[in-house]
Amino acid sequence: DTGVSQDPRHKITKRGQNVTFRCDPISEHNRLYWYRQTLGQGPEFLTYFQNEAQLEKSRLLSDRFSAERPKGSFSTLEIQRTEQGDSAMYLCASSPRELLETQYFGPGTRLLVL
Partner 1 sequence: GIQVEQSPPDLILQEGANSTLRCNFSDSVNNLQWFHQNPWGQLINLFYIPSGTKQNGRLSATTVATERYSLLYISSSQTTDSGVYFCAVVWNNQGGKLIFGQGTELSVKP
For partner 1, the binding residues (CB under 8 A) are: 31, 33, 35, 37, 41-45, 48, 55-56, 89, 91, 93, 95, 99-105, 107-108, 110
In three-state secondary structure terms, 72 is helix
Shorter beta-carbon distance to partner 1: residue 16 or 55: 55
Q: How many CB atoms within 10 Å of residue 47?
A: 21
Shorter beta-carbon distance to partner 1: residue 82 or 108: 108
Q: What's the N-to-C CA distance of the chain in angstroms?
A: 37
- Distance in angstroms (rounded) separating the CA atoms of residues 114 and 107: 22
Shorter beta-carbon distance to partner 1: residue 63 or 98: 98
Write down the least CB distance from residue 17 to partner 1, Å. 22
